[in-house]
Amino acid sequence: MSLIHLSAAELGEKLASGEVSSVEVTRAHLDRIAAVDTDVHAFLHVNAAALETAAAVDAKRAAGEQLGELAGVPIAIKDVLCTLGMPSTAGSRILEGWVPPYDATVVARLRAADLVPLGKTNMDEFAMGSSTEHSAYGPTHNPWDLDRIPGGSGGGSAAAVAAFEAPIALGSDTGGSIRQPAAVTGSVGVKPTYGSVSRYGAIALASSLDQVGPVSRTVLDAALVHDVIGGWDPRDSTSLKDEWPSFAQAAREGARQESLAGLRIGVVKQLDAPGFQAGVSQRFHEALELLASAGAEIVEVSAPNFEYAVAAYYLILPAEASSNLAKFDSVRFGLRVNPAGGGTVEDVMAATREAGFGPEVKRRIILGTYALSAGYYDAYYGSAQKVRTLIQRDFSAAFAEADVLVSPSAPTTAFRLGEKLNDPLAMYLNDVTTIPANLAGIPGMGLPIGLAPEDGLPVGIQLMAPARADDRLYRLGATLERLLEQKWGHTLLSQAPDLAQSEMYAAETGAV
Amino acid sequence: MSEITPDVVRHLAGLARIALTESEVASLTGELGSIVDNIAKVSEVATPDVEGTSHPIPLQNVFRADIPGVTLTTEQALAGAPDHDGSRFRVTAILGEEQ
A 10 A CB-CB count for A59 gives 11
The predicted pLDDT at position B3 comes to 84
- Summarised one tens digit per residue, pLDDT across range B21-46 is 999 999 999 999 999 999 989 989 99
The predicted pLDDT at position A501 comes to 66
A232 lies within 8 A of chain B by CB: no
The residue type found at A302 is S
Give the closest residue to A165 by CA, choosing from A396, A355, A4.
A4
Residue A304 pLDDT exceeds 90: yes
Mean pLDDT of A232-236: 95
Q: How confident is the model at residue A509 (pLDDT cuts 50, 70, 90)?
A: low
Q: How confident is the model at residue A229 (pLDDT cuts 50, 70, 90)?
A: very high
Residue to mutate among A92, A331, A344, A370, with most B CBs inside 10 A, is A370
Cα–Cα distance, A498 to B84 (Å, whole number): 50
B96 lies within 8 A of chain A by CB: yes
Residues A3-306+388-496, CATH architecture: Alpha-Beta Complex (3.90)
Give residue B11's domain range: 6-45
3-state SS, residue A273: coil
Mean pLDDT of A49-67: 98
**A43 touches A37 (CB < 8 A):** yes
The predicted pLDDT at position B94 comes to 82
Domain count, chain B: 1
What totals of helices (H) and strands (E) does chain A contain, helices first?
17, 11
- Summarised one tens digit per residue, pLDDT across range A363-386 is 999 999 999 998 888 889 999 999
Cα–Cα distance, A406 to A399 (Å, whole number): 11
The predicted pLDDT at position A483 comes to 98
Give the closest residue to A141 by CA, choosing from A128, A160, A126.
A160
Return the bridge partners of B89, or none.
Answer: B84
- Summarised one tens digit per residue, pLDDT across range A246-290 is 999 999 999 999 999 999 999 999 999 888 999 999 999 999 999
Contacts of B67 (CB under 8 A, 6+ apart): none
The predicted pLDDT at position A496 comes to 95
- Summarised one tens digit per residue, pLDDT across range A315-356 is 999 999 999 999 999 999 999 999 988 889 999 999 999 999
Q: How confident is the model at residue A124 (pLDDT cuts 50, 70, 90)?
A: very high
A 10 A CB-CB count for B75 gives 11
The predicted pLDDT at position B93 comes to 84
The string over A157-185, giving b where at least 16 C-beta atoms fall within 10 Å of a residue's C-beta and e elsewhere, is: bbbbbbbbbbbbbbbbbbbbbbbbbbbbb
Query: Which residues in chain B have Cβ-Cβ distances shorter than 8 Å to A354?
Result: 18-21
- Summarised one tens digit per residue, pLDDT across range B41-80 is 998 999 999 999 988 998 888 888 899 988 899 999 999 9
Kindly report the CATH number assigned to the domain that includes residue B28: 1.10.20
Residue B33 inside a domain? The answer is yes
Give the closest residue to A124 by CA, choosing from A325, A434, A361.
A361
Return the bridge partners of A131, or none.
Answer: none
Residue A103 pLDDT exceeds 50: yes
Residue B1 pLDDT exceeds 50: no
| CA nearest to B65 within chain A | A234
A 10 A CB-CB count for A385 gives 24
Query: Which residues in chain B have Cβ-Cβ distances shorter than 8 Å to A441?
Result: 56-57
Residue A16: alpha-carbon gap to chain centroid: 28
DSSP structure string for B27-71: HHHHHHHHHHHHHTTHHHH--TTSPP-SSSS--------S-----
Strand order across the beta sheet in which A458-464 lies: A43-46, A116-121, A74-78, A168-173, A211-216, A188-191, A444-451, A458-464, A404-408, A264-268, A297-301
Residue A507 pLDDT exceeds 50: yes
Query: Which residues in chain B have Cβ-Cβ distances shorter than 8 Å to A240?
Result: 57
**What pTM, to 2 d.p., does this model score?**
0.96
Q: How many residues are recorded in chain A?
A: 512
- Give the B window 54-73 contacts with A, CB below 8 Å: 54-57, 59, 62, 64, 72
Q: How confident is the model at residue A223 (pLDDT cuts 50, 70, 90)?
A: very high
| Interchain CB distance below 8 Å, B50 and A365 | no
Percent of chain A with pLDDT over 70: 97
A269: annotated active-site residue? no
- Give the A window 446-505 contacts with B, CB below 8 Å: 467
A240 lies within 8 A of chain B by CB: yes
Residue A512 pLDDT exceeds 70: no
